[in-house]
Amino acid sequence: MGTRASIPDIVIGRLPIYLRALGRMIQEEREYTSSHELGERLGISSAQIRKDLSHFGEFGKQGTGYNVQYLYEQIRHILKVDHEWPMAVVGVGDLGRAIAHYRGFQARGFRVAALFDADPKLLGERVGNLTVLPMDQLAAETQRLGIRIAMIAVPAAEAQAVADRLIEAGVTALLNYAPISLAVPEGVHVQYIDPAAHLQHMTFYLTP
């Protein structure tokens, strides 16, 4: 195929996993891999990997497999992480700080470019190489920096209000760490990080 035509969202969700594995293979200086090997590493069937990739083009060679570096670049391009996205973090508590200090985003296409908090005591404080800004500078600063993505790290009770302000400021992708589902207009994307939910998923299978 190679042309889009509404590619299943679940397929898009697996591409970052493939990318992650390919990144490690590059570190290991592996030059070629196969759908079978990738599948083994990820616990996914080789057929699924080939099928997923076939939505976007033909990246492999029969008999040989995939050139690791080439496939890596292709998926980076598909996911649009072949350039760096600046992001805002709202809420500079324990979690917001850990995120702001985290060095791992850079290699995956992201950079924390602005920090916001409502607490006057935090304003002006430096975290990493950034200064914590007040919420009333949110719109101006995100627009100035071309920020389209934000991470929400405020208490659950505040998360919807913060999301609304971010969306008003032009942010269209939200990664929400607060344990609450957000209501957002069409065209705004939301993803959730809820460790307690993952834990509860696993306890179902544990014997008490």
Ligand X SMILES: NC(=O)c1ccc[n+]([C@@H]2O[C@H](COP(=O)([O-])OP(=O)(O)OC[C@H]3O[C@@H](n4cnc5c(N)ncnc54)[C@H](O)[C@@H]3O)[C@@H](O)[C@H]2O)c1
Partner DNA sequence: CTACGATTGTTATGCTATTCACATTTTCCC
Partner DNA sequence: GGGAAAATGTGAATAGCATAACAATCGTAG
Q: How many CB atoms sit inside 10 A of residue 114's CB?
A: 22
**Binding to DNA by residue 69, rule CB under 7 A?**
no
Q: Which does 154 bind (CB under 5 to 8 A by kind): ligand X, a copy of itself, DNA, none?
A: ligand X
* Residue 66 neighbours by CB under 8 Å, 6+ apart: 32, 33, 34, 35, 38, 59, 60
Burial class (CB in 10 A: 0-12, 13-18, 19+), 184: middle
| Complex with DNA: residue 61 or 144, whichever CB lies closer | 61
Question: Phi/psi of residue 104, each to 5°?
Answer: -75, -15
**Binding to DNA by residue 21, rule CB under 7 A?**
no
Considering only residues 67 to 126 of the shown chain, the ones binding a copy of itself according to CB under 8 A are 78-81, 83, 85, 87, 94-95, 97-99, 101-102, 104-105, 108-110
The token pair that represents 109 in the structure block? 């296409």
| Complex with ligand X: residue 22 or 162, whichever CB lies closer | 162
- Judged by CB under 8 A, the number of residues near a copy of itself is 60
Q: Which does 109 bind (CB under 5 to 8 A by kind): ligand X, DNA, a copy of itself, none?
A: a copy of itself
Among residues 71, 88, 63, 50, the alpha carbon closest in space to that of 172 is found at: 88
Do the Cβ atoms of 130 and 112 come closer than 8 Å?
Answer: yes
Instruction: Name beta bridge partners: 175.
Output: 151, 191
Q: How far is the CB of 61 from a copy of itself (least distance, A)?
A: 25
2, 6, 62, 199: which one contacts a copy of itself (CB under 8 A)? 199
Do the Cβ atoms of 158 and 164 come closer than 8 Å?
Answer: no
The token pair that represents 106 in the structure block? 């850079």
| Complex with ligand X: residue 195 or 208, whichever CB lies closer | 195
Sign of the torsion formed by the C-alpha atoms of 195, 197, 199 and 202: negative
**Binding to a copy of itself by residue 194, rule CB under 8 A?**
yes
* Binding footprint of DNA on the chain (CB under 7 A): 1, 8-11, 34-36, 44-48, 50-51, 53-54, 58-66
* Binding footprint of a copy of itself on the chain (CB under 8 A): 12-13, 15-17, 19-21, 24, 41-43, 78-81, 83, 85, 87, 94-95, 97-99, 101-102, 104-105, 108-110, 148-149, 151, 156, 172-173, 175, 179-181, 183, 189, 191-206, 208
